[in-house]
Chain A
Amino acid sequence: MSLAILHWSLFASQLMLGLAMLAALWRIVSGPRAQDRILALDALYVVALLLLVTLGIRTNSQVYFEIAMLIALLGFVGTVALAKFLMRGEVIE
């Protein structure tokens, strides 16, 4: 009983997170300007991180947290570099 509740709620949440990733992907593809695409990329990596956390609950393993941590670190650096590039025209001056 309790296992079924957890199973179906995790299924529903993964479905919703997948839809959220599709929405962000649509904005990346069709964003009118570069800043829209960067914003959608930022949202996309956060949703991917959350999807990995729910996958970790489903498979009862802790390997996914390391990957989620790595995505959080590298996504921050990537978005900051892209925003800096939009602002100044180059990343490291």
Chain B
Amino acid sequence: MIANLPLWLSILVSAAVVLGSALTLAGCFGLVRLPTFYLRIHAPTMGTSLGGGLILLGSALYFSLTQGRVVFHELAIFVFVTVTTPVTLMLLARATLFRDRVEGGSAVPPSFRKPEPLATEAEMQTGIVETKAD
């Protein structure tokens, strides 16, 4: 850290860094506290989106105002983490869903796709089955 730091910059960087790490801590705390895997997979994304974004914003402010360099490192890290986290978590959730459905336990969340009705009421009364054009 350098000696002659302006007060507003110090306060701004401190607020961003503390808020970001508090959000990250909340996310990892949710990883411990939440009961099932499908709830737990939402928790650490707080750290990867807003928490990490605030910490990297504080770092970018500090270095761009004290050393006069272009803010590129933090932006690159932020973009990379924000783009890759949904990809990995979606792959992981699909793998978990596949494993749970193969095992057929009670922990599997229900499918959103409704089963096709065998016959409508009008078809049952008349006995004529109309083919639906999709």
Interface residues of A (CB under 8 A from B): 1-3, 5-7, 9-10, 12-14, 16-17, 19-21, 23-24, 26-27, 33, 35-36, 38-40, 42-43, 46-47, 49-50, 53-54, 56-60, 62, 65, 68-69, 72-73, 76, 79-80, 83-84, 86-87
B49 to chain A, nearest CB (A): 10
On whether the beta carbons of B27 and A84 are closer than 8 Å, the reply is no
B75 to chain A, nearest CB (A): 11
Contact, CB under 8 Å: A3 / B10: yes
Contact B32 A23 (CB under 8 A): yes
Q: List 25 A-B contacts (CB under 8 A).
A: A2-B10, A7-B1, A9-B13, A9-B14, A9-B18, A12-B21, A13-B21, A16-B22, A20-B21, A23-B25, A26-B32, A27-B32, A35-B96, A36-B40, A39-B40, A46-B85, A50-B24, A53-B74, A59-B1, A60-B1, A69-B80, A72-B81, A79-B88, A80-B87, A83-B92
Nearest CB of A to B11, in Å: 6
Q: Which residues of B contact A (CB under 8 A)?
A: 1-3, 5-7, 9-11, 13-15, 17-18, 20-22, 24-25, 27-29, 31-32, 37, 40-41, 43-44, 47-48, 51-52, 55-56, 58-59, 62-63, 66, 69, 73-74, 76-77, 80-81, 84-85, 87-89, 91-92, 94-96, 98-99
Task: Tell me whether B17 and A54 are in contact (CB under 8 A).
Answer: yes
Query: Are A50 and B37 interface neighbours, CB within 8 A?
Result: no
Contact of A46 among B7, B18, B32, B48 (CB under 8 A): B48
Which residues of chain B are near A36, meaning CB under 8 Å? 37, 40
Chain A interface main SS type: helix
A-B CB pair tally, cutoff 8 Å: 180
Instruction: Report whether A5 and B11 are in contact in the complex, using a CB–CB cutoff of 8 Å.
Output: yes
Task: Give Cα A21 to B63, complex, Å.
Answer: 26
A29–B93 alpha-carbon span in the complex (Å): 20
Residues on B with beta carbons closer than 8 Å to the beta carbon of A86:
92, 95-96, 99
Q: Provide the bound-state CA to CA distance between A43 and B62, in Å.
A: 25
Complex-state Cα separation, A73 to B28, whole angstroms: 21
The verdict on A6 contacting B88 (CB below 8 Å), with A20-B25, A43-B47, A46-B44 known, is: no
